[in-house]
Amino acid sequence: MWLGVDVGSVSVDTVLINDKIEVFKSAYLLTAGMPIEAIKEGLRKSRDSVPVLGVGTTGSGRELAAVLTNADIVKNEITAHAIAAAHFVPDVRTVIEIGGQDSKIIILKDGIPVDFAMNTVCAAGTGSFLDHQAQRLGIPIEKFGQLALQSKSPARIAGRCTVFAESDMIHKQQLGYGIEDIIAGLCKSLVRNYLVNVAKGKPILPPIVFQGGVASNEGIRKALEEELGMKVFVPTYNKLMGAIGAAMLAKKVMKDKRKTSFRGFDICDMEFNTQSFICEDCPNTCEIVKISSNGKVLATWGSRCGKWDLSK
């Protein structure tokens, strides 16, 4: 079994896959600002007695996850997502990934990524845009997709930006648009934002794989298909693709390595302490983070000059 851990800004996903890349166990948890706890909880849920042969971590918190698990490989989320998508849809040309705080597009050819883009600054093309509006409307985000599908004439919601979208949405409500039309409009707006901000000018060719947390939302999927004029394929494990990719990468590196460095599932019960402080030794004022367990420092990061790095 291979273990994959994807630590994003919003969620932590863990999977255990077998030789045939079938998902054996998995967990999807919200980080809620406590990534260490979430990682431990995720591992607890995918814990199993079968031996783990390798561990891969990915996502913006990949370094943290790598320290906790003592991973065999640490990879960026673009490579991980691309590899997983190309496994499930071997001739995939475009991967559209919309997550909670970030989104990306990956262009592939013959199963190999050839171009990519990701957003990090603007929230308008990400899941948090929807979460925010759902909260405003007082409708649980899970119902969003269903409601959007009922709309016959989606409201046109202007919005290159969440702030403008919000005021326009209020305006449309006051004009008497039905809630489903407004929600469908929001979905369209998110898709347009994504296409303008992230996919900007990239050639979107079929087959298209749509993954990430937001892909579960049927309203968005429909809006995306309409906007592109093409069918998109949402894989069964759309939320877990990053973690699956990481596990696949672990499987790949373990070919030339004999034994995994995995710390074992016991880490679920270990205590990890993080300590952060600001180094004042030069005007860079780096924020240094130290992770330790049982009084032993496992890793430090954040220093620009390398002064606080542990020697390996």
Q: Is 286 in the site for ligand SF4 (CB under 6 A)?
A: yes
How many CB atoms sit inside 10 A of residue 104's CB?
A: 24
The tokens describing 161, both together, are 């930006």
Q: Work out the burial of residue 276: count CB atoms within 10 Å of its CB; fewer than 13 is exposed, 13-18 middle, 19 or more buried.
A: exposed
Q: Is 284 in the site for ligand SF4 (CB under 6 A)?
A: yes
The tokens describing 124, both together, are 């308008």
* Alpha-carbon distance values, 269 to 36, 84, 275 (Å): 12, 30, 19
* Alpha-carbon distance values, 282 to 138, 194, 306 (Å): 48, 40, 13
Q: Which one of 32, 163, 282, 297 is in contact with ligand SF4 (CB under 6 A)? A: 282
Per partner kind, with CB cut-offs from 5 to 8 A, the member of another protein, ligand SF4, none near residue 121 is another protein
Query: Which of 29-37, 88-96, 202-210, 298-306 is the region at the interface with ligand SF4 (rule: CB under 6 A)?
Result: 298-306
# chain residues binding ligand SF4, by CB under 6 A: 11
Q: Which stretches of the chain are DSSP H helices?
A: 35-45, 62-69, 77-88, 127-137, 141-150, 162-174, 179-197, 218-228, 241-253
The single residue listed with the structure tokens 């050639």 is 203
What is the x/- site pattern for another protein, positions 104-123, by CB under 8 A?
Answer: --------xxxxx-x-xx--
Q: Is 274 in the site for another protein (CB under 8 A)?
A: no
Q: Is 307 in the site for ligand SF4 (CB under 6 A)?
A: yes
Site for another protein in 59-88 (CB under 8 A): 60, 75-79
Residues that bind another protein in the complex, under the rule CB under 8 A = 60, 75-79, 112-116, 118, 120-121, 201, 282-285, 306
Residues that bind ligand SF4 in the complex, under the rule CB under 6 A = 279, 281-282, 284-286, 303-305, 307-308
